[in-house]
Structure 1
């Protein structure tokens, strides 16, 4: 059942039947990950049954990733595997492409340099047998080189087992923690479809725009307080290196959250911790990185977004927001040379 964007052979009745039974689609976007993609895929392939499919999106890799992918999946031709080859468009576009073709009731988003813990399968699969659950959240361990060298335990799961969300305020713990890693959860695909939610193409910090929206539309969340994914540490990750685009895309994330909140006081209050984190991150980048500047148009856009939540900020922060261009320019002027 190996396929490219469309199956290699004509679909049979049996193939269609299997596709209609898919419970979980694992989506793996890949860009120049030849050193890691095999390990990533081997954390999925041996555990696949006829209710699980694997969707690999080769996002215009210029290294040997494509050849490694083909070689790795070659021994699993009896599994439901789809490979999409596309011109490089970024991780958001790759995830969106995978989501668009996924046939599963639930989606898991696995980055090509990370991999599932074997316990992922025995913990998550029984949970999603309950189709009323919208999101399954779990933790991760970040490692450097070897899994024995754990850099950080990433506690993304804030809920304990099954929780029915009856009001937006019940989501506050998730927004306070603000760990919106897309791969630390499994999602019902209907959340993306019914509410027209996609990852913003061409943007960094795409998780801050997308995952909160999925939570706001969820009725049932299931938390697993275990590390079910290995997250690889990279010294050159976007959190370790600075680009001017970082600031602009953080402003975009703040704008997106402002649109989510609109005039709903309860939603504003829930989202506020994530917005505050974005604002603090922008200030930190301006102070830490010599030469970093936020264009005036972006400063104004950020101010408009922050004004949506100004009622929840402390008085000192309110002043910063009201006089934002002056405040940010002062930061730039007096930062350490």
Structure 2
């Protein structure tokens, strides 16, 4: 059987959700499909649950049990090594999918030899169905649409990727840190030439407070962001479109630093100018003139937090005044 789609699922202590996720995969109407579960050193009974499912569908289920914790990115990299599908998909072990998801997305992919197919999703956090991209994104990727990809970033799990885009370009995930999906998607966005859109909410994104992205290691947030920025820029500078895409690539970096900036501001009883100056100093290691980024400047026109974030690059005292007024 020729495998049309490989679905890679990193698993870490997901016993509470695994039944629903695995059952939703096994119910897929696309039959030429394989499911690669990478157990990332779970300490609960996730592995035992996977083995029970494997007995029911030995032909399509592949289980990889890691000896050392790799994080979601590292686990996905291992899954890629075992994949054989014409197209690749990723799913998170605490979510679930519509039974027609991969058949519909594969049909769209081969309709016009698309490199990437995007579908809609339901988000539990907002309790609503959403589409990241509309139909105007479909077809040959223009420069403007490539910029839109970077600015929206999105989720790795709502997409179907042509295998050659990932494997031939040697695109991998960063190991053991947050934002590995941002780096992966940015590298993919540099490569894709044709995009397909399926405007149906096939993926069900659960708001799991125990997930890797929600928990993270907040005490080492500076280290995490600095590690990410260093590797991200190293990867992006190797892309042939880097010079023309540089402002939007830097916008991606600023978005991550802004989240930290806003979290500090909203949770601190009093704004400390020294902390703002420290954040400013760290950002300038990667984007020296970030206060003038054309994409972030546009976003800041209607958001005082973003405005203060940019002003902090020039005048931290003025940023403090703005933020104190916002918090009143």
- TM category, shorter: 0.7 to 0.9
Given that 1:140 and 1:184 are in contact with CA atoms closer than 8 Å, whether structure 2 keeps it comes out as: yes
User: 1:201 aligned to 175, 179, 194, which one?
Assistant: 175
Which residue in the other structure is 2:200 paired with? Answer: 226
Which residue in the other structure is 1:188 paired with? Answer: 162
Looking at secondary structure, tell me which structure has more helix per residue. 2
From the superposition, tell whether residues 157 and 318 of structure 1 become closer, same or farther in structure 2 (CA, over 3 Å): closer
- CA distance in 1 between counterparts of 2:19 and 2:205 reads 15
User: 1:135 aligned to 83, 106, 116, which one?
Assistant: 116
From the superposition, tell whether residues 65 and 320 of structure 1 become closer, same or farther in structure 2 (CA, over 3 Å): same
**How big is the shift at 1:234?**
1.9
SS of residue matched to 1:136: strand
Alignment of 1:107-256 (within 5 A): 107-130=88-111, 132-143=113-124, 151-160=127-136, 162-165=138-141, 167-178=142-153, 180-237=154-211, 238-239=213-214, 243-256=218-231
- CA distance in 2 between counterparts of 1:264 and 1:111 reads 30
Could you report, residue by residue, the CA deviation over 1:123-176 in whole angstroms, capped at 9, with x for unpaired residues?
2121232473111111211237xxxxx6243432344473111x4332122233
Which residue in the other structure is 1:82 paired with? Answer: 62
Which residue in the other structure is 1:39 paired with? Answer: 20
Gap runs ≥5 in structure 2: 298-306
Q: CA RMSD in A?
A: 3.6
**How big is the shift at 1:320?**
2.9
- TM-score w.r.t. length of structure 2: 0.79
**How big is the shift at 1:73?**
2.5
**How big is the shift at 1:106?**
0.9
**How big is the shift at 1:26?**
0.6
- CA distance in 2 between counterparts of 1:125 and 1:261 reads 29
Which residue in the other structure is 2:84 paired with? Answer: 103
Could you report, residue by residue, the CA deviation over 1:162-218 in whole angstroms, capped at 9, with x for unpaired residues?
3111x433212223333x211111112222222222111011122122112111111
Given that 1:171 and 1:215 are in contact with CA atoms closer than 8 Å, whether structure 2 keeps it comes out as: yes
Alignment of 1:307-326 (within 5 A): 307=288, 310-312=292-294, 313-314=296-297, 320-321=312-313
**How big is the shift at 1:68?**
0.7
Gap runs ≥5 in structure 1: 1-17, 145-149
SS of residue matched to 2:144: helix
- TM-score w.r.t. length of structure 1: 0.77
Which residue in the other structure is 2:258 paired with? Answer: 280
Does residue 29 (structure 1) correspond to residue 3 (structure 2)? The answer is: no
- Between 1:285-294 and 1:234-243, the stretch displaced more is 285-294
Aligned residue pairs: how many? 308
From the superposition, tell whether residues 37 and 98 of structure 1 become closer, same or farther in structure 2 (CA, over 3 Å): same
